[in-house]
Each structure stands twice: as C-alpha cells, then as structure tokens.
C-alpha cells in the first residue's frame, strides 16, 4: 500500500504544478480623494471618480442636496473581457477629473460641463469612496484554482484504483495456480 500512496502523491504534485493559472474578472481599488459631488469607484479602466448625478434633492441621500457644478468630465472605458462584436460604447462611464468654476481649468480629454450632482451639505471639497459599483462588472479574486486541486484528486484516485485493480488481478492469478 506504501507504493500506492507514493504514486498518488506524486501524480497529485505533478498535476498541481502544471495546472493552469486561475483567472478572475478583477479590478483594482476605488479612487480616493474625489471632488464633491462624486465618489470613488473602479472598473477595468482603472480607478476613477464618478458623478453622483441627480435631478432633484429627492434623488440624493439624506444630508445631501442636488446642485449644478462645473466639472471636468471625461470618459473611461470599463470594458473587460467582452466578445469581439460587442458595442464598446455601452461600457463608457463618465469620469470626473476635477472642478472648473471658471470654465477653462480642464484639458481636451475632459471638457468643462455643468452637471447636477448630489453634494453633501457639509462637504469640504471631497467625498469619500463608498464602494459603489459605478456600473462596471467586477469580480472577486480567487487565490488558487479549484480545478487544479480537483484534477489532482481525480488523477490520484485514478492511479489508486489502477494499482488496487492490478493487485487484485495478481492475487486472483496466484489463487488459480495454487
């Protein structure tokens, strides 16, 4: 039985070493230090500040009001692993680069736009990251591949069954000779 366990362990080790790497649909941490009226989020395009758009105060959380602010508004593509024929424009999200009270503080990639956004009544110029999804598909990272572990177990069991069957076959042929 010692050889069977050795073979089982050896096969399991080989399968685990050559197993494919685990893959996950993962994005980085949320943006920090966002302008008032925005919140930090992240997607496949990286961390960014998304506007907390509203039409009226009732669209905002308690303690916030809906205000028109001049913001440098660009876009970020949150497309991850999408089919080749996908419309990538559906993955575009508004990305706020900062404020533009005079209308000329923005660059060409994020022109100054007036947006109605929820602003905290006690906002001191920035809002905290709340972990909102920002509309992008996100996943959770997995440390190890479950498939590799299961493959190792299955391989090992297969080897153990083959060794056991050979031993039974050997005993049966010895009993017939006797």
Rounded to two decimals, the pTM is 0.56
pLDDT of residue 138: 37
Q: What are phi and psi of 4, to 5 degrees?
A: -65, -45
Specify the higher pLDDT residue, 130 or 120.
120
176, 42, 49, 73: which is closest to 125 by C-alpha?
Answer: 49
Q: Is the dihedral of CA 41, 46, 49, 53 positive or negative?
A: negative
What does the pLDDT average to over 104-132?
76
For the stretch 47-81, pLDDT in tens is 999 999 999 999 999 999 999 999 999 999 998 88
Buried b (16+ CB within 10 A) or exposed e, 8-34: beebbeebeeebeeeeeeebeebbeeb
Q: How far apart are CA 43 and CA 11, in angstroms?
A: 40
DSSP string across the chain = -HHHHHHHHHHHHHHHHHSPPP------PPP-SEETTEEEEEETTEEEEEE-B-SSGGGSPTTEEEEEEEEEEEEEE---S--TT--GGGGEEEEEEEE-TTS-SS-TTS-EEEEEEEEETT--SEE------TT-------SS-HHHHHHHHHHHHHHHHHHHHHHHHHHHHHHHH-
The residues with which 101 forms a beta bridge, in sequence order, are none
pLDDT of residue 36: 94
pLDDT of residue 1: 55
Average per-residue pLDDT for the chain: 76
Q: Does 35 have pLDDT greater than 80?
A: yes
């Amino acid at each position: 039985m010692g050889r069977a366990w050795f073979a089982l362990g050896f096969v399991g080790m080989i399968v685990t070493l050559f197993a494919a790497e685990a893959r996950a649909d993962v994005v980085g941490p949320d943006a920090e230090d966002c302008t008032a009226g925005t919140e930090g989020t992240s997607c496949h395009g990286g961390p960014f500040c998304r506007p907390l758009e509203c039409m009226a105060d009732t669209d905002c959380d308690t303690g916030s009001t809906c205000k028109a602010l001049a913001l440098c508004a660009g876009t970020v593509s949150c497309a991850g692993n999408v089919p080749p024929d996908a419309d990538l424009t559906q993955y575009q999200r508004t990305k706020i680069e900062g404020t533009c009270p005079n209308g000329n503080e923005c660059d060409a990639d994020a022109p100054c736009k007036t947006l109605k956004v929820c602003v905290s009544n006690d906002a001191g110029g920035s809002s905290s990251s709340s972990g909102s999804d920002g509309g992008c598909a996100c996943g959770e990272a997995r440390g190890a591949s479950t498939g590799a572990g299961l493959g190792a177990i299955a391989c090992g069991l297969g080897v153990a069954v083959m060794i056991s069957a050979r031993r039974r076959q050997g005993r049966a042929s010895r009993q017939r000779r006797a």
